[in-house]
Structure 1
Amino acid sequence: MPNTPREVPANGTPCVEIGDRGLRLPRIGLGTASLGNFLGAITDEQAVDTIRRAYDAGVRYVDTAPLYGHGLAEQRVGSALRGKPRGDLVISSKAGRLLRADAPRDESQYVDGEPFYTDVPATGPVWDFSYDGVRTSLTESLDRLGLDSLDILHLHDPDDHYEQAASTAYAALRDLRAEGTVKAIGAGMNRTPVLTRLVENCDLDVVLLAGRYTLLDQSSLTDLLPACRERGTKVVVGGVFNSGILLDPSPRARYDYAPAAAEVVEKAQRIRTVCDRYDVPLAAAALQFPLAHPQIAAVLVGARSVAELDMDLDLLEVVVPDALWHDLRTSGLLPDDVPVPSGPVITGLERSVR
Structure 2
Amino acid sequence: MSLSRTAMLLALVLSGAQAGQTVVAIRGEDFLINGKPTLEGRTWRKHDVEGLLPNSRMVQGIFDDLNPETARQWAYPDTGTWDAERNTREFVAAMKAWREHGLLAFTLNLQGGSPQGYSKNQPWHNSAFDESGVLREAYLVRLKAILDEADRLGMAVILGYFYFGQDEHLKDEAAVIHATDAATDWIVKRGYRHVLVEINNECDVRYDHAILKPERVHELIDRVKRRSAEAGVPLLASTSYGGGSLPGPKVVKAADFLLLHGNGVKGPEAIRSMVERTRKMEGYRGQPIVFNEDDHFDFEMENNHFTAATAAGASWGYFDFRMKDEGFAEGFQSVPVDWSISSERKKGFFRLLAEMSGEGK
Deviation at residue 24 of structure 1 after TM alignment: 4.8
**1:163-312 to 2 correspondence within 5 Å?**
163-167=215-219, 169-179=220-230, 180-191=232-243, 195-200=247-252, 202-211=253-262, 215=267, 217-218=270-271, 220=274, 223-227=277-281, 230-242=284-296, 246=297, 281-282=300-301, 285-294=304-313, 296-300=314-318, 302=320, 304=332, 305-306=339-340, 307-308=342-343, 309-312=346-349
Aligned CA distance change for structure 1 residues 126 and 62 (closer, same or farther; 3 Å) = farther
Residue of structure 2 aligned with 1:70, choices 115, 127, 152: 127
Deviation at residue 237 of structure 1 after TM alignment: 0.7
User: Paired residue for 2:123?
Assistant: none
Deviation at residue 193 of structure 1 after TM alignment: 5.5
User: Paired residue for 1:326?
Assistant: none
User: Paired residue for 2:155?
Assistant: 89
Task: Name whichever structure is richer in strand by fraction.
Answer: 1
Deviation at residue 91 of structure 1 after TM alignment: 2.0
Residue of structure 1 aligned with 2:353, choices 316, 320, 325: 316
Q: Which one-letter code corresponds to 2:247 in the other structure?
A: L
Aligned CA distance change for structure 1 residues 22 and 298 (closer, same or farther; 3 Å) = farther
Deviation at residue 149 of structure 1 after TM alignment: 4.8
Aligned CA distance change for structure 1 residues 52 and 347 (closer, same or farther; 3 Å) = closer
Q: Which one-letter code corresponds to 1:209 in the other structure?
A: L
Instruction: State which drifts further: 169-178 or 208-217.
Output: 208-217
Aligned CA distance change for structure 1 residues 155 and 284 (closer, same or farther; 3 Å) = same
Residue of structure 2 aligned with 1:347, choices 353, 357, 360: 357
Which whole-Å CA distance do the structure 2 matches of 1:241 and 1:65 have between them?
18
CA contact (8 A) 1:192 1:224 kept: no
Name the SS of the counterpart of 1:236 in structure 2.
Answer: strand
Name the SS of the counterpart of 2:255 in structure 1.
Answer: coil
Q: Which one-letter code corresponds to 2:350 in the other structure?
A: L
Deviation at residue 183 of structure 1 after TM alignment: 3.7
Q: Which one-letter code corresponds to 2:55 in the other structure?
A: G
Aligned CA distance change for structure 1 residues 297 and 183 (closer, same or farther; 3 Å) = farther
CA contact (8 A) 1:174 1:185 kept: yes
Deviation at residue 78 of structure 1 after TM alignment: 3.6
Normalised by the length of structure 1, the TM-score is 0.55
CA contact (8 A) 1:96 1:133 kept: no
Deviation at residue 190 of structure 1 after TM alignment: 1.7
User: Paired residue for 1:60?
Assistant: 104
Aligned CA distance change for structure 1 residues 76 and 313 (closer, same or farther; 3 Å) = farther
Deviation at residue 206 of structure 1 after TM alignment: 0.5
Listed as ranges, the gaps of 5+ residues in structure 2 are 1-16, 39-51, 65-72, 77-85, 113-125, 129-137, 205-209, 321-330, 333-338
Aligned CA distance change for structure 1 residues 198 and 223 (closer, same or farther; 3 Å) = farther
**1:20-39 to 2 correspondence within 5 Å?**
24=37, 27-35=53-61
RMSD: 4.5
Which whole-Å CA distance do the structure 2 matches of 1:220 and 1:171 have between them?
25
Name the SS of the counterpart of 1:350 in structure 2.
Answer: coil
Which whole-Å CA distance do the structure 2 matches of 1:197 and 1:59 have between them?
30
Percent identity between matched residues is 11
Deviations 1:318-353 (A, max 9, x none): xxxxxxxxxxxxxxxxxxxxxxxxxx6x132234xx
Deviation at residue 220 of structure 1 after TM alignment: 2.9
Listed as ranges, the gaps of 5+ residues in structure 1 are 10-14, 98-105, 110-122, 248-279, 318-343
Which whole-Å CA distance do the structure 1 matches of 2:266 and 2:74 have between them?
24
Deviation at residue 172 of structure 1 after TM alignment: 0.9
Count of matched residue positions in the alignment of Structure 1 and Structure 2: 257
